[in-house]
C-alpha cells in the first residue's frame, strides 16, 4: 500500500504489537520509537480501518469545520516537547498560531507525518483486525482476520479506542427501533451526507460529538433543522478567543472526597472572579492534577463524583472552540437548532420518518442520530478481540464499568486480579483507573510513560523529532 501498510502480516516476529491505530495506538508507537535507540526494535501496529490509519474516530473526520477542542499548544505528541505540534502547524501554514484551534483533520496529518519521520524499518502498519491475543511463554500470539496472519510478540499494547454508543433508548429504557431513519453511530460522515437536504433531524446527546454532527448537518444545507435533546439539555461551554490566564489550584494532600472537591472548585472560581480571572483558568488549573486527584478518591467517592458531578465537570472541561460556539449560536438564533432537556420520551416508527416525543414538545423527524457517547461497559462488547479476551478472563472490567481493569501504568489486570505480564492498555479504555486518558495531552503522557517502561529509562534527552509540515498541508484553508 502507498502508505507503507499492508494487509498481510504473514508470520511476524516483533518486540511490541499495538492493537488499534487511532491516536492512542499511534502515540504509543511514536513515543516508543522516539525513546528507543535499539535498531532491532520491531513494532507492528494493527489497525482494522485502512482509510483511517493513525487518525481513528477523532482525527479521521473529513469535515474541516470540525475543530480541535484544545489549542495547538496543548496537542504535541511528546510531553517534553510541548511546542512540537504548534511548530509543525506553523510550518504547514504560517497563519496558524499556538493558541489557535485547528481543524482536527490537520492533527491527523501531523500524526501521519510523524509516523513517516520516525517509523522506518522499525514500524510496520498492518491493515487487519486482531481477533485474539493468546498468552504464550514469554510473549503473545496475535491472531488476525488476515490470510494466515499471526504475529509473535513480546509485548502487546491494546488501544482499541472509542466504542460505538450503546443502543439508543428512551428515558424509560425502551429501545429505539432499528429503522431507516435511525443512525446508531455519529461518526459515519457518509451516512450524514445521505440525510435529506430539508430534513428535520433529532440528535440525542448534547456533548461535543452532538455539536460536530449539528455543525455538519446545518452547514451543508440551509434547509435542514436540528433538534438536540439530552437529559440536562445543556451544551458544552465554549473556550474564549484569548487565553484565560493561569490559576494554581491548591489541591489538599491526602484522601479527597467528591463533595470536598466540588466545594474547593466553587471557592476557587469565586476567588478567581474577585481577582478578575475567568473560571476557565481554574478548570484548566486542575487538569494537570486530575490523575492524582482520581487516585486519592476511594471507590465510593469516585462513584459519588460520577453520579453527582461528572456531567457538569465535562461540560466545563471539554469546551467548544470559539468559532464552533459562534456558529452554534448563530443556528440557535436563527431557530434552526433547538436544545431540549428531559431526554427522549418516546419514538414511534412511521416508516420513512418517526414521531419523537420530548418533555415539552412532539415532532416528526426524518433522522435520529445517536450521540449519547461511547459504550464503556466492556462486558457488553461485541468486538471479537475484547470478547475473546473477556471470555478467557485475560481482561476484565474495572470496578466502575468505565473500561478495562489495569494498573496506573496500563498493565492489564486479568479477572481474578493478577497482572498479565507484557500486556498493556492505553487511551479511553483505561479511564476507570487513571481517569484522564481521553484527550491527547493525557494520552501522550500515558504513552510516553509506557514507552519508558518498555524501553528502559532514556539515557539523556531523547532526540528531538524534526518538524515536517511544510509539504504536508500546503495552503491549508482556515
Ligand X SMILES: Cc1cc2nc3c(=O)[nH]c(=O)nc-3n(C[C@H](O)[C@H](O)[C@H](O)COP(=O)(O)OP(=O)(O)OC[C@H]3O[C@@H](n4cnc5c(N)ncnc54)[C@H](O)[C@@H]3O)c2cc1C
**Region from 1-9, 153-161, 171-179, 333-341 binding ligand X, contact rule CB under 6 A:** 153-161
Interface mask (CB under 6 A) for ligand X, residues 38-77, using x and -?
--------xxxx--x---xxx---------xxx-------
Q: Which residues pair with 354 in a beta bridge?
A: 349, 365
Closer Cβ to ligand X, 113 or 366, answer by number: 113
158 DSSP 8-state letter: E
Contacting ligand X (CB under 6 A), which of 385, 395, 412, 454? 385
Contacting ligand X (CB under 6 A), which of 14, 18, 20, 109? 20
Residue with cell 459562534: 326
Q: What minimum distance in Å lies between the beta carbon of 23 and ligand X?
A: 3
Say how far apart CA 177 and CA 180 lie, in whole Å: 9
Interface mask (CB under 6 A) for ligand X, residues 390-419, using x and -?
------------------------------
Cα Rg of the chain (Å, integer) = 23
Following DSSP, what letter does each residue of 63-98 receive, concatenated?
-TT-B-SS-GGG--SSTT-TTHHHHHHHHH-TT--T
Reduced DSSP (H G I as helix, E B as strand, rest coil) percent helix, strand, coil of the chain, to 5:
35, 20, 45
Say how far apart CA 204 and CA 373 lie, in whole Å: 10
**162 part of the interface to ligand X, by CB under 6 A:** yes
Q: Is residue 147 within 8 Å of residue 9, measured between CB atoms?
A: no
**90 part of the interface to ligand X, by CB under 6 A:** no
How far from the centroid of its chain's Cα atoms is residue 444's Cα? 12
Say how far apart CA 49 and CA 55 lie, in whole Å: 10
Contacting ligand X (CB under 6 A), which of 15, 18, 21, 103? 21
Q: What minimum distance in Å lies between the beta carbon of 384 and ligand X?
A: 7
**438 part of the interface to ligand X, by CB under 6 A:** yes
**Region from 135-143, 158-166, 274-282, 327-335 binding ligand X, contact rule CB under 6 A:** 158-166
Contacting ligand X (CB under 6 A), which of 14, 16, 17, 19? 19
**83 part of the interface to ligand X, by CB under 6 A:** no
**Three-state DSSP class for residue 425:** strand
Q: What minimum distance in Å lies between the beta carbon of 406 and ligand X?
A: 14
Contacting ligand X (CB under 6 A), which of 285, 427, 432, 462? 427
What per-residue string of b and e applies to 170-191 under the rule 16 or more CB within 10 Å gives b? beeeeebeeeebbbbebbebee
**23 part of the interface to ligand X, by CB under 6 A:** yes
Q: What minimum distance in Å lies between the beta carbon of 318 and ligand X?
A: 8
Angle, helices 104-118 vs 23-35, to 10°: value is 30
Q: What minimum distance in Å lies between the beta carbon of 58 and ligand X?
A: 4
C-alpha cell of residue 14: 516483533
Q: What minimum distance in Å lies between the beta carbon of 130 and ligand X?
A: 4
Say how far apart CA 392 and CA 317 lie, in whole Å: 37
Closer Cβ to ligand X, 107 or 181, answer by number: 107
Query: What Cα–Cα distance (Å) separates residue 269 from each residue in 70, 130, 276, 315, 366?
Result: 21, 47, 10, 15, 43
Contacting ligand X (CB under 6 A), which of 103, 108, 422, 428? 428
Interface mask (CB under 6 A) for ligand X, residues 351-380, using x and -?
------------------------------
Say how far apart CA 150 and CA 394 lie, in whole Å: 19
Closer Cβ to ligand X, 129 or 303, answer by number: 129
Q: Which residues pair with 17 in a beta bridge?
A: 44, 156
Closer Cβ to ligand X, 56 or 139, answer by number: 56
Q: What minimum distance in Å lies between the beta carbon of 147 and ligand X?
A: 15
Contacting ligand X (CB under 6 A), which of 103, 161, 403, 422? 161
Say how far apart CA 29 and CA 118 lie, in whole Å: 9
Interface residues with ligand X (CB under 6 A)? 19-25, 46-49, 52, 56-58, 68-70, 104, 129-130, 159-162, 209, 212, 385, 427-428, 438-440
Amino acid at each position: 500500500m502507498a502508505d507503507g501498510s499492508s494487509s498481510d502480516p504473514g508470520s511476524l516476529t516483533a518486540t511490541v504489537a499495538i492493537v488499534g491505530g487511532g491516536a492512542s495506538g499511534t502515540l504509543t508507537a511514536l513515543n516508543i520509537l522516539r525513546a528507543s535507540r535499539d535498531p532491532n526494535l520491531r513494532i507492528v501496529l494493527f489497525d482494522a480501518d485502512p482509510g483511517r490509519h493513525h487518525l481513528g474516530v477523532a482525527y479521521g473526520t473529513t469535515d474541516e469545520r470540525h475543530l480541535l477542542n484544545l489549542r495547538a499548544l496543548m496537542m504535541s505528541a511528546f510531553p517534553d516537547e510541548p511546542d512540537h505540534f504548534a511548530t509543525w502547524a506553523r510550518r504547514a501554514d504560517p497563519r496558524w498560531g499556538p493558541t489557535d484551534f485547528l481543524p482536527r483533520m490537520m492533527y491527523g496529518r501531523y500524526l501521519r507525518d510523524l509516523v513517516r519521520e520516525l517509523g522506518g524499518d522499525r514500524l510496520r502498519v498492518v491493515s487487519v483486525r486482531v481477533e485474539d491475543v493468546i498468552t504464550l511463554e514469554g510473549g503473545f500470539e496475535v491472531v488476525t482476520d488476515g490470510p494466515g496472519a499471526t504475529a509473535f510478540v513480546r509485548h502487546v499494547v491494546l488501544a482499541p479506542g472509542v466504542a460505538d454508543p450503546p443502543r439508543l433508548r428512551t428515558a424509560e429504557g425502551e429501545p429505539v427501533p432499528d429503522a431507516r431513519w435511525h443512525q446508531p453511530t455519529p461518526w459515519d460522515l457518509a451516512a450524514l451526507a445521505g440525510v435529506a437536504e430539508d430534513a428535520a433531524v433529532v440528535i440525542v446527546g448534547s456533548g461535543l460529538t452532538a455539536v460536530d454532527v449539528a455543525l455538519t448537518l446545518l452547514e451543508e444545507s440551509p434547509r435542514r433543522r436540528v433538534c438536540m435533546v439530552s437529559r440536562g439539555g445543556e451544551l458544552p461551554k465554549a473556550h474564549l478567543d484569548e487565553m484565560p490566564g493561569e490559576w494554581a489550584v491548591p489541591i489538599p494532600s491526602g484522601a479527597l472526597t467528591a463533595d470536598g472537591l466540588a466545594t474547593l472548585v466553587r471557592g476557587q472560581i469565586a476567588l478567581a472572579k474577585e481577582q478578575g480571572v475567568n473560571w476557565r483558568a481554574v478548570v484548566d488549573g486542575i487538569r494537570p492534577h486530575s490523575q492524582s486527584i482520581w487516585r486519592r478518591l476511594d471507590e465510593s467517592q469516585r462513584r459519588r463524583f460520577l453520579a453527582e458531578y461528572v456531567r457538569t465537570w465535562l461540560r466545563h472541561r471539554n469546551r467548544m472552540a470559539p468559532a464552533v460556539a459562534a456558529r452554534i449560536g448563530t443556528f440557535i438564533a436563527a431557530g434552526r437548532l433547538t436544545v431540549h432537556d428531559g431526554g427522549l420520551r418516546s419514538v414511534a416508527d412511521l416508516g420513512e420518518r418517526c414521531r419523537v416525543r420530548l418533555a415539552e414538545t412532539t415532532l416528526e423527524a426524518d433522522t435520529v442520530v445517536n450521540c449519547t457517547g461511547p459504550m464503556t461497559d466492556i462486558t457488553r462488547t461485541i468486538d471479537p478481540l475484547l470478547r475473546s479476551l473477556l471470555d478467557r478472563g485475560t481482561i476484565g472490567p474495572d470496578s466502575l464499568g468505565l473500561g478495562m481493569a489495569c494498573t496506573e501504568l496500563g498493565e492489564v489486570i486479568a479477572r481474578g486480579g493478577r497482572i498479565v505480564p507484557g500486556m498493556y492498555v492505553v487511551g479511553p479504555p483505561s479511564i476507570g483507573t487513571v481517569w484522564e486518558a481521553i484527550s491527547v495531552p493525557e494520552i501522550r503522557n500515558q504513552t510516553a510513560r509506557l514507552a519508558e517502561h518498555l524501553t528502559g529509562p532514556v539515557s539523556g534527552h531523547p532526540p528531538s523529532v524534526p518538524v515536517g509540515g511544510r509539504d504536508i498541508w500546503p495552503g491549508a484553508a482556515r
